Structure 1
């Protein structure tokens, strides 16, 4: 049994010794042991994975002492190959510790489906914006006679009409039928020269045209009651409902203009 008596100085000395040992232990743990066990100051640059295929991941990730995990919600890009990498986290060039996990998003094998929007009666520019918003593409435009200028009359895909709400693959091309704003079909003016007035009236009615003015003028170059001039000229581009003016060799308007064509004004000259 020790005969040394207790003194305050001896007690304080022991406390200081114990505190010093504790400080040394803490410094050793945080500045020597912990850095060595966690590879302190040893980082890896995250490689560029976007665009690579899934089969190339081992070479670019595992061989660099990194790991990867595929995010469940796959994305889709029409311009990328199926199962190619669309995005990654952390981003390329980031500095990470060894064995860090990189989360990647793969391009889907099959495009997701979207609902076909309703484009009928919208203008072309608005229709294209709607298609882009829904992940669809504007295909060919076909113009048809219709008073609705630049408006969508029909929406088709692969030559068949497609109704709004139909499920189709994202990235599909939609063809549109557009109104030309004219509402009528254009065609070449018939040739009335050399025909009789009755024949011309019949032909005008059959062509959905309107007889505007009949000019009766005596000439020696054609037979009586024969057309020798017309406006618009034969072969010019006209549309349904256009007005036709004709010149007839004759001098008797009352006998040459039947009651069924009251819309044609009659002029007589000699």
Structure 2
């Protein structure tokens, strides 16, 4: 075998060894340190704890609310199913108080802020807000999904289609970080911005009840009527 052939053979052998070794390392590292979060919906907390008994994962119950699931069954979790997490991490879960059905009211013709407040009082979660030019009243709800009269479970997500007949002026996004929800709502309203989805996290190093993040970063220019999502520390 000439030198050129020797080098080629050696190179190919080295690549094979590196690939094989890398595959073993990835498999070992993933199995030993990382897991894919399963979907815990419809499991009890005790059942979920059994699933993770060998992975040093702590299941922490954060609260409970009505849902489509039976009483004491998990209906929500963070991190969400399918996320890759380290072993030893805490998975926060929320359990069901049972199934509680409500009738979706007619939101059509309501101002978006009033419709959101009404939906939340009923136990509905406002998920998506879309806009269309329908020549109705600005910021007025044109339709909802599910529609009026639908029978749904409490905590069901509802979406609104809203008229955007006129385009608002540009405004600068206020800094909501560190203020409570009521103050944050007033700050958004003063800029003609709309409160969107409100999510919660739990961080013991931060003050409880304050806004820790917003869907639009402070100082960014946006249009009046823009929906701003908020994250609050419980």
Asked if these proteins are the same fold (TM beyond 0.5), I'd say no
Q: From the CA coordinates, give the structure whose radius of gyration is larger.
A: 1
Greater strand share, 1 or 2? 2
